[in-house]
Amino acid sequence: MVIIGQKFPEIEVNTTHGKMKLPEHFKGKWFVLFSHPADFTPVCTTEFYAMQIRLKKFKELGAEVIGLSIDQVFSHLKWAEWIKDNLNVEIEFPIIADDRGSVAEALGMIPEGSTNTARAVFIVDPKGVIRAIVYYPAEVGRDWDEVLRLLRALQVSDKNGVALPHKWPENELIKDNVIVPPAGSVDLIKKRKEQKERGEIKCYDWWLCYKELK
Ligand code: BEZ
C-alpha cells in the first residue's frame, strides 16, 4: 500500500515513448501519473481527450503527465491513433503499458475484485515524494481542472507555508485568500492576535485566520 508522504517507488516502465525509470525520469519536476481502466473504452476516451487539451496547463505548472493501464503498448498506440484520426487530438504524453499489472499492483491501483486499474491519480513532487492520491471508480470520469487546482494548491502551499480552502481560489467564505496555519501554542495564539491587530491577517478566531496571497 502506498500512501502520501512516501517516496514514489523506483520502477522501470515500458511506455509509448520507450522505457523509463520512475521517478528518476521526472527528477526535479512535478509529475501526474494517472491510470485508466482500459484502452478503447468510452469514459477513458473522454478523459484522454480532455487531458490532452489541458496538457499545456499542466506544463505551465512545471508538471509532466503520464498515463497507465493494464494494456499492451500496441493497444495504447492504436488507441492514440484512433483518437487522432477521429477526434483530431494527438496524445503527446507517454502511456505506461503495464500489461502484467505489476506497476498497478505496486501502486495499489487495482480495485477489489477487478483485473483492471481504477481511475487513480498520483501527484509526485520534484523530490519524488507522493503528495496526493485520488481514486475514482471506472464508471465516473475525472475532472482534470480539479487535478490542476490540486497541483497548483500544493505548489502554493509549499512556496508560502499556507493551506488552501474549499474550492480555492473561489471560496465562498474567504474568496481567493489563503489560510494561515492554525496556532498550535499559546505563543502562536498571541502572535496571531498581534498579526490581526497590525492588519497583516484577518481572523474569525485565532484558529481560523487568513490572508491575501502576495
Ligand atoms: C469506460 O471508460 O467507459 C469504462 C471503462 C471500464 C468500465 C466502465 C467504463
Compute, in angstroms, the gap from residue 71 CA to the centroid of ligand 1.
Answer: 14
**Structure-block grid coordinates of residue 183:** 496556532
Cβ neighbours around 207 below 10 Å, total? 14
Give ligand 1 pocket residues (Cβ under 6 A): 37-38, 41-44, 138-139
pLDDT for residue 85: 99
Name the residue at shortest CA distance from atom 7 of ligand 1: 138
Secondary structure, 3-state, 61-103: CCEEEEEEECCCHHHHHHHHHHHHHHHCCCCCCCEEECCCCHH
Cβ neighbours around 149 below 10 Å, total? 16
Q: Point out the catalytic residue in the list 13, 22, 32, 44.
A: 44
Which residues have a Cβ under 8 Å from the Cβ of 196 and sit 6 or more positions away? 202, 203, 209
Does residue 203 carry a catalytic annotation?
no
CA nearest neighbour of 50 among 130, 122, 107, 119: 119
Hey, what amino acid is at 209? C
pLDDT for residue 1: 83
Compute, in angstroms, the gap from residue 197 CA to the centroid of ligand 1.
Answer: 55
Compute, in angstroms, the gap from residue 120 CA to the centroid of ligand 1.
Answer: 13
Helices H / strands E in the chain, number of each: 5, 10
Per-residue pLDDT of the chain (214 residues; tens, 9 = 90+): 899 999 999 999 999 999 999 999 999 999 999 999 999 999 999 999 999 999 999 999 999 999 999 999 999 999 999 999 999 999 999 999 999 999 999 999 999 999 999 999 999 999 999 999 999 999 999 999 999 999 999 999 999 999 999 999 999 999 999 999 999 999 999 999 999 999 999 999 999 999 999 9
CA pair distance 18, 52, nearest whole angstrom: 19
pLDDT for residue 197: 98
pLDDT for residue 203: 97
